[in-house]
Structure 1
């Protein structure tokens, strides 16, 4: 299991460009769909917890998943697997970047990758919205939160705190049936 965890997260780390948010669909595919180590609801909760903790999203998720499956050894294997590719790639780029930073082909490749990375980051947003049961009726909530953070530079901690309090009050006062 330890080698399997390391291998899965190594693959995710090597073949997912765009950071933690772009890794979410790949992690979900492996952990929820392929290996069935957790269900979608638990995975959505994991994303929420991983986002509120300091550190890289993919590392936080790998720690949680590894620990859930095999305690401390699993957390270490999964975290090493997901972080090692980035570490090696960044190290190699740092060593050789000065040799190709002004190359027009390299610059063009990076210009082409940028929009694809934005799409990789947007895709999990729609999956998470569906899993969180965001509909046309309540879609204003995440849009308003995103605009507050982006345009007014409201600290995300305040948004999360307010959302948590509103959710608690909603549950107390309205008691939705699920």
Structure 2
């Protein structure tokens, strides 16, 4: 029983520490989740984090809250989901209240404006880093690389909604696998060489990273 409560507190505390980063958007928390949840505590694999964030983007509500809930549930069931959700929400609530007080009091202060300018730039760096980390576990071959490029174009040029992008990506992913199976082309579903035999059509992992 004590072990269960200890795990729940750890979940709460981990996401309480991660929570302050979520003001830049849920994806900004991926580097911290990787460090705290994947590398330090080894609760889940980085591939699972990528999948959970994909699911979080399709569900209603804030991505940060959805991701924390998914990860908490994966680790400790319903109680874990609640602990992680409270952990990620509480610091966000406190910070927003504090920022509101500061902003109202010093709205015209150039130092405050400069601080927010720096924060926005730092958040862009966090999101870019998170995108690179996810790409390393999600871009498996030429087909997934082309799919990524197409989805980026759809968002930038045609302004597709993120949910539409994710749903379309899922459908195209299924179609790609089915076509490869019909053509007897080996299918790669992850980077683990023990689980997938590399096809001559696949782009080597090192090449995709350059």
**TM-score when scaled to structure 1?**
0.89
Q: What is the distance in 2 between the residues matched to 1:43 and 1:107?
A: 34
Unaligned runs of 5+ in 1: none
Counterpart of 2:65 in structure 1 is 59
Counterpart of 1:153 in structure 2 is 159
**Residue 19 of structure 1: CA displacement?**
2.3
Per-residue Cα deviation, 1:81-106 (whole angstroms, up to 9, x for no partner): 11111111111222342210100111
User: Per the alignment, do residues 14 and 162 of structure 1 end up closer, same or farther by CA in structure 2, a change over 3 Å counting?
Assistant: closer
Q: What is the distance in 2 between the residues matched to 1:16 and 1:51?
A: 14
SS of the counterpart of 1:26?
helix
**Residue 136 of structure 1: CA displacement?**
7.1
Structure ranking higher on relative contact order (CA contacts 8 Å, 6+ apart) = 1
Aligned residue among 122, 125, 139 for 2:131? 125
Equivalent residue runs for 1:27-66 within 5 Å = 27-66=33-72
After TM superposition, the runs of 4+ consecutive aligned structure 1 residues lying more than 6 A away are: none
Greater Cα offset, 41-50 or 131-140: 131-140
Aligned residue among 12, 34, 45 for 2:18? 12
8 A Cα contact 2:26 2:63, kept in partner = yes
How many corresponding residue pairs?
178
Q: What is the distance in 1 between the residues matched to 2:145 and 2:130?
A: 16
Unaligned runs of 5+ in 2: 1-6, 182-186, 189-195, 197-210
8 A Cα contact 2:18 2:88, kept in partner = yes
Q: What is the distance in 2 between the residues matched to 1:95 and 1:58?
A: 23
Q: What is the distance in 2 between the residues matched to 1:59 and 1:10?
A: 12
User: Per the alignment, do residues 78 and 104 of structure 1 end up closer, same or farther by CA in structure 2, a change over 3 Å counting?
Assistant: same
Does 1:104 find its partner at 2:110?
yes
Output the aligned Cα RMSD.
2.0
> Which structure has the greater CA radius of gyration?
2
SS of the counterpart of 2:24?
coil
User: Per the alignment, do residues 101 and 134 of structure 1 end up closer, same or farther by CA in structure 2, a change over 3 Å counting?
Assistant: farther
